[in-house]
Amino acid sequence: MPIDRKPEFFKGAQLKVAIIGCGYVGLPLALRFAEAGHKVTGFDTDPNKINMLNAGRSYIEHIPQTKIQQFVNSRHFGATDGFYSLEGRGRHPHLRADATGRAPRARPELCRANSYFDSAEPAEGPARGSGIYDVSRNHGRVGAANLRKEWLALPHCRRAGNDNVACDFWLAFSPEREDPGNKQYGLAQIPKVVGGVNPPSGRAAQSLYAQVVARVVPVSSTRAAEMAKLLENIFRCVNIALVNELKMLSLRMGIDIWEVIDAASTKPFGFMPFYPGPGLGGHCIPVDPYYLS
């Protein structure tokens, strides 16, 4: 029988938190929950990462090794590449921090993002008991979380004997806002946008994230949270591309683009400086606009 838990359960002390994906987004999130006193298991498909983490070593430049060692030694953090090692954590939060790829012809590769969840047996996967399945990293089309609910969450819950996604299984979207190496704004200081597929899901995710970030920003739905993430990244994509074009134009005209940007930045309203450089500010920035196609 499913355990009926209220969304406020996730305000509780020492939850068992599973972080799916231990990259530059998932690992800081895992360590932040460990710092808040929870028992955290990080899941990743790369055995080298798992071995390094369990030995208290870091493979991400801006994450200090001493911090990982601290939580491994205190048994607040451990890592695994075996999905079934997460068995028994179904009534506690599962937070996804894996990247959504792009298939040929620029189509979002949502099947890869869902594969970990879809491969689990309902008796031993995240649908067991009550829990949050929270997509905290990967972007997708607006409405992707609702599709996951229909395609994945509800069938798994029903096979496990749970028909009520509102009470027995919470599904939310909370986009990442990582800026690796930023010494001014770390994970704890950056506001967290949270939207649920229904009000109980939203409240559960808010209760959880309020323990690790200074401010939680609730929105009305997962669709609103997904669109907010796309807006943030497309804003950067458009403006970085624009300034790169203006840099090449200025070069042909014999104008110093840096001087131009500095001059325009003195306007106290209606302007934000962007600077030319290689790429578009991260692997996800050029991909996200296709999620509106």
From the candidates 22, 157, 237, 284, give the one annotated as an active-site residue. 284
Alpha helices in 42-109 (DSSP H): 47-54, 65-73
Residue 200 belongs to what H/E stretch? helix 199-209
284 as an active site residue: the answer is yes
Which is it for strands 108-109 and 77-80: parallel, antiparallel or unpaired? unpaired
DSSP 8-state symbol, 10:
G
Residue 263 belongs to what H/E stretch? helix 257-264
Distance of CA 98 to the CA centre of its chain: 7
Cα gap 75→288, rounded to integer Å:
37
Q: Within 13 Å of residue 186, how many CA atoms lie on the same side as its CB?
A: 10
As given in the structure block, the two tokens for residue 38 are 């929870």
Residues designated catalytic: 284
